[in-house]
Amino acid sequence: MVSFTSILTAGLLATTALAVPHNMHMHRDLHKMQKRTSTKRGAAYNDVSTVTTLAETGTISWAYNWVFTTDTGLPSGVEYVPMLWGTSFFSGWLSAIETILSSGSDYIMGFNEPDMASQADMTPSEAAGYYMQYITPFSGSAKLISPAVTSSSTDGQGLSWFEEFMTDCSSCNITGLAVHWYGDSVDDLKTFVEDAVSTASNYGLEEVWVTEFALNADISGVADQSTTAEFVTEAVAWLDAQSGVTRYSYFMCADNYLLTDGALNSVGSAYTSTSI
């Protein structure tokens, strides 16, 4: 769901955040260490300052920005997870990924919605070949998350794309399945995530990550904050209770989504109001 424009802007915005004085980071870190207990909840972001705001609640443990950024400016204690979005990002990958892993990232995320023509757009066998070439070589230094598939139930998309991919990538050393969900109710989210968890367990995968989720009405920004806050409250409580789901991130950590004018709005408060 993320445009190339927002992906490319992300790098620039991340750089500006480095201007924050060191002692401010220290102050926030102390605050966070006292409060943070959730290990699942993350931030999907383009602008790192929005993650800083979200992380002040002490309930955010990881973040990603659909790309691989060597100098993120994230508050310390929030793990940055690099993603290899798709073929257009291959050229810089090998020179950056080792630096990122040595900076404290424990995971690598695979391609973004390869089951969609408008996104990474790969057949399962193409994706398996690329995965083996670009991501599997790092299985000694990171845990490897699958390409993130959509919640489409059309044959050849979503979990059925993933199943085909896994027949070609059974020796890719993948340890987790990533999925995205867009739909109209929290019950639909639960049904889809339960399917994802059972699919993952068929391949012996330890983890399911829900790396984008939102109501269809909110894809271009939250349409009605009270409806969405209610959805997010129930979704987060349920996701926290699922042992098969090890990480999740709402779409997205940005103004007009979890924030309004740079501050948490009621949706952002709902997303960060509980910790497990």
Ligand X SMILES: *[C@@H]1O[C@H](CO)[C@@H](O)[C@H](O)[C@H]1NC(C)=O
The yes or no reply on residue 242 touching ligand X (CB under 6 A) is no
Q: Which is nearer to ligand X, 171 or 243 (CB)?
A: 171
Minimal distance in Å, beta carbon 76 to ligand X?
29
Minimal distance in Å, beta carbon 234 to ligand X?
38
The yes or no reply on residue 260 touching ligand X (CB under 6 A) is no
Residue among 9, 49, 139, 273 that touches ligand X (CB under 6 A): 139
Residue among 5, 171, 220, 243 that touches ligand X (CB under 6 A): 171
Q: Which is nearer to ligand X, 15 or 173 (CB)?
A: 173
Rounded-to-integer distance, Cα 121 and Cα 210, Å: 19
The yes or no reply on residue 175 touching ligand X (CB under 6 A) is no
The yes or no reply on residue 204 touching ligand X (CB under 6 A) is no
Closest residue by Cα to residue 105 from 79, 84, 77: 79
Minimal distance in Å, beta carbon 173 to ligand X?
4
The yes or no reply on residue 173 touching ligand X (CB under 6 A) is yes
First to last CA, the chain: 29
Q: What is the 3-state secondary structure (H, E, C) of 199-250?
A: HHHHCCCCEEEEEEEEEHHHCCCCCCHHHHHHHHHHHHHHHHHCCCEEEECC
The yes or no reply on residue 199 touching ligand X (CB under 6 A) is no
Q: Are 44 and 250 in contact (CB under 8 A)?
A: yes
State the number of binding residues for ligand X (CB under 6 A).
Answer: 4
Rounded-to-integer distance, Cα 113 and Cα 87, Å: 12
Rounded-to-integer distance, Cα 169 and Cα 162, Å: 10
Minimal distance in Å, beta carbon 54 to ligand X?
34
Instruction: Report the interface residues with ligand X, using CB under 6 A.
Output: 136, 139, 171, 173
